[in-house]
Copies of this chain bind each other. A is one copy, B any other.
Amino acid sequence: MSTTGNKSISEIGRHGLIRELTTFSTWRSDHVISGIGDDAAVIERDETTYTLISSETFIEGVEFDLSFMPFHQVGAKVVSAAVSDIYAMNGHPKAILINLGVPNRITVDMIQDLYKGIGMACSDYHCQLSGGDLTGSHNALVISVTVYGEVDKDRIIYNSGAREGDAICVSGDLGSALAGLKILLREKRHWEDSEDPVMQPDLTDWEYIVKRQLVPVARKDIISLFEEHAIRPTSMIDISQGLLHDLKRITNSSGKGAYLYQAALPIDLQTREAANEMEEDVDKYALYGGEDFELLFTAGEEEVTKLAEHSKNFAVIGKITDDAGQVEMQTGEGDVISFEK
């Protein structure tokens, strides 16, 4: 008997459910090095490299909203989100396959715009569009993206390698994609309430955070820095679900805990201003906001020093503890708050 039975997916947690579901599949292929748990499947390639494969599905109304996202931006964003999983394992994307489920209201012109965005992003990330299919869909536009990548065997980084005392680092800033989404949703409501159908929202004050939501960039540059300067994090993941969610994947896989410093969370000024306008707590944006596609990684002191010599575009936000499963944060006032497991 299953232990999860009639529970809803949110009750038992997405990753817990995926792990349980995987137990129904017992066949093991000799070439598969690592399957469930990391951002990409790891498969033996040749003496020195692994193949990485990752796949993600984006459903209109869930992962993207066509009412404020132009098709070419949707195309670029799904590619960024997908290749980010390969960078998260310190690898390089090489090829992409796109499947579309297309409802009737979507015209060929719209699909062409979508593919223009896909094509531009593929060039940015040095990926070849190598296949895919088109099928029908009743309601929502469905976009599935599969990425093939490669990584040197001696450079692969799993999310299970964090060691006690490692610094917890994050590239870029946190919560800005969520802040951008909040502004876009507010403008959408204004437009829906307005009597003027051609009203254009004024987003000039919010350029950075709106861009972070609409056209996020996967951190290929950070992976290149690691490579150039032989910097070797112990664990890594990309922030797609939110800092706390993705950090817990690292601590759970590594059998460790984490201690964060609230004051160290990198938050852009526009993100703060957006939270102010919404009368919301900006730290919640940073802790729970998804889709930043920044890299969250752990590393020893020496590696962090080396990285700091070459880049200012990352922050140390805490350290790994031996307190398995425990994630705590020291607030600006010196209090310590604990996040549920």
- Is residue A195 contacting chain B, with contact meaning CB distance below 8 A? no
CA distance in complex: A14, B63 (Å): 25
1/0 contact string of A24-53 vs chain B (CB within 8 Å): 111111011011101011010110000101
Give chain B nearest CB distance to A27 CB in angstroms: 5
A contacts with B, residue count (CB < 8 A): 79
List chain B residues, Cβ under 8 A from A38.
Answer: 131
Instruction: Let me know if A59 and B5 touch, CB within 8 A.
Output: no
Instruction: Let me know if A108 and B57 touch, CB within 8 A.
Output: no
Instruction: Let me know if B142 and A27 touch, CB within 8 A.
Output: no
**Minimal Cβ-Cβ distance residue in B for A40:** B131
Instruction: Let me know if A97 and B59 touch, CB within 8 A.
Output: no
Q: Which of A120-128, A184-192, A315-323 interfaces with chain B?
A: A120-128
Q: Which of A99-107, A261-269, A324-332 interfaces with chain B?
A: A99-107
- Is residue A8 contacting chain B, with contact meaning CB distance below 8 A? yes
CA distance in complex: A53, B93 (Å): 14
Count the copies.
2
CA distance in complex: A136, B118 (Å): 23
1/0 contact string of A1-39 vs chain B (CB within 8 Å): 010111111001010011011101111110110111010
**Minimal Cβ-Cβ distance residue in B for A148:** B53
- Is residue A222 contacting chain B, with contact meaning CB distance below 8 A? no
Instruction: Let me know if A25 and B62 touch, CB within 8 A.
Output: no
Q: Name the one of B9, B116, B146, B150 contacting A146, with C-beta atoms under 8 angstroms.
A: B146
| A residues 35-88 touching B (CB-CB < 8 Å) | 35-36, 38, 40-41, 43, 45-46, 51, 53-57, 59, 61-63
A interface residue numbers (CB < 8 A to B): 2, 4-9, 12, 14, 17-18, 20-22, 24-29, 31-32, 34-36, 38, 40-41, 43, 45-46, 51, 53-57, 59, 61-63, 94-95, 97, 99-102, 107-109, 111-112, 115-116, 118-119, 122-123, 126-140, 142, 144, 146, 148, 150
The 3 closest A-B pairs by CB, nearest first: A35-B130, A25-B129, A24-B119
